[in-house]
Structure 1
Amino acid sequence: MNKSQQRGTSGKSLARRAELIATGRKLFADTSYDALSMDDIARHAGVAKGLIYYYFANKRGYYLAIVEESVTDLVARAGSHPELPRTQRVRRTVDGYLHYARYHQAAYRTIVTGGVGFDVEVQSIRDAVREQLIATLAEGAYGRADVPPTARLALLGWMTGVEGITLDWIGDPALPQEAVCDLLVMLLRATLETVAVLVPECPAPPLDDAADDSGAGAAADGAVGTVGRGADDTVP
């Protein structure tokens, strides 16, 4: 984060900055970056344009701050119940991810798609987060972040599938959240079992909580639980 994105550290300033970012999340989720001027943003926010420039040096800094804040929000809210058994934490973290997406749709779409249009820097932020989550997944499933290319691709495939399923679901939530959560957990388990067949040095972890005490025995539960640290367990 650059200096122009750090201005205003008092409680009142932080609250105002948060309000501006909340407005920006909604605007950029539905409108392309180029289609919005600073005058448009100020009008929607109900503030003078100069106030936006006080917190963010320019529109670019404002937009990137919105994306970074959204990503941080999604990542930081995860894994808030480490005391739970793995089998419960799995569902808790995946359910939290879905909960975040459902109740913060504009922010979630910005994180996953970069808003409307294509932006190289935004995609870089999203890709970096994906890589972090893949490493966390691998650590939870296999006890190490560095895994063979086939295993990494499989985990990436599951993660992009989660994003696609979640985006489609929040657009038309025909299924209850519990059913979507079941689907994602089962898909992860299937992914780990497929990896085990193709990459023998990456066996699928066991399912039961009793095996959790042995580092590499962190079940698919453990793997999904780590996604929670890059996902969400939150309230609206």
Structure 2
Amino acid sequence: MNNSQQRGPGTDPAVRGSERSQARRAELIATGRKLFADTSYDALSMDDIARQAGVAKGLIYYYFKNKRGYYLAIIEESVAELVIRASSTHDLPPVERVHRTIDGYLRYAQHHQAAYRAIVTGGVGFDAEVIAIRDQVREQLLGAIARGAWGRREAPLLARTALIGWLSGVEGVTLDWLEHQELERDTVRSLLVRGLGDTLRAIEDFDPSCPAPRSPVE
């Protein structure tokens, strides 16, 4: 038996090195999320980021190549959290699922405002890669809604179009709410839930193969 077999796969130096590398990358992303939550993209230099992270600037270049790569990695991580929060409700009854999904979405936006704004408005200027990430979020959310309403992730074209309209409204309402925050989150959630119920009933009127949930989502 050779030395690597005696150590076992869990203690292989290459494995340990990979785990340390992944942990360090995750730490840098966590630091970046905090920094970009309070400061605009243009206002943060790589020197600022390295100083706040307590690392050499070269380490950030090693993991992310440049500032934009670092920013995109942070946005992708934020998107993953948003989708998890908004769609991890499949074991709940349909009405509660809708409330929890929208509440999770609003909670994320409220506590990660800079990342949320970047996701739904396209990032720095008009960033095609951030727009692509935003479209992924929309697809995930549309799939979660379709599964909750009709038991399948794929929605017919008319239903999809109507839900895209509702989701665009959700983004606009959420951005305006973040700007003023004079309404309670529960009030905003109820407003969005009511709008979804109206949208699902309109979809049923046009396409009976997509019946609205019998119990009102309000």
Q: 1:138 aligns with which of 146, 149, 152?
A: 146
Q: 2:163 aligns with which of 155, 175, 179?
A: 155
Partner of 1:178: 186
The Cα shift of 1:178 comes to 1.1
State the AA in 2 paired with 1:13.
R
Partner of 2:125: 117
State the AA in 1 paired with 2:27.
R
Q: 1:20 aligns with which of 25, 31, 42?
A: 31
Partner of 1:91: 99
Contact 2:47 2:57 in 1 (8 A): yes
Contact 2:204 2:210 in 1 (8 A): yes
Give the paired residue count: 201
User: C-alpha distance in 1, partners of 2:170/2:36?
Assistant: 21
Rate the CA distance shift 1:142–1:84 in 2: closer, same or farther, 3 A: closer
State the AA in 2 paired with 1:111.
I
Deviates more, 1:159-168 or 1:76-85: 76-85
Partner of 2:13: none
TM-score by length of 1: 0.73
User: C-alpha distance in 2, partners of 1:12/1:152?
Assistant: 39
Matches within 5 A, 1:1-236: 9-10=19-20, 13-14=24-25, 16-26=27-37, 30-32=40-42, 37-43=45-51, 45=53, 47-79=55-87, 84-207=92-215, 220=217
The Cα shift of 1:170 comes to 1.1
Identity %: 55
User: C-alpha distance in 1, partners of 2:41/2:92?
Assistant: 41
Contact 1:30 1:116 in 2 (8 A): no
- Structure 2 segments unaligned to the other structure (5+ residues): 1-16
Q: Which has the higher contact order (CA 8 A, sep 6+)?
A: 1
User: C-alpha distance in 2, partners of 1:30/1:62?
Assistant: 14
Cα-to-partner distance string for 1:171-210 (whole Å, 9 max, x where unaligned): 10111111111101100000001111122322212116xx
TM-score by length of 2: 0.78
State the AA in 2 paired with 1:148.
P
User: C-alpha distance in 2, partners of 1:182/1:135?
Assistant: 21
The Cα shift of 1:97 comes to 1.6
State the AA in 1 paired with 2:29.
A
Contact 1:23 1:44 in 2 (8 A): no
Query: Which structure has the larger Rg?
Result: 2
Partner of 2:7: none
The Cα shift of 1:14 comes to 5.0
What root-mean-square deviation, in Å, do the aligned CA atoms of Structure 1 and Structure 2 show? Answer: 2.7
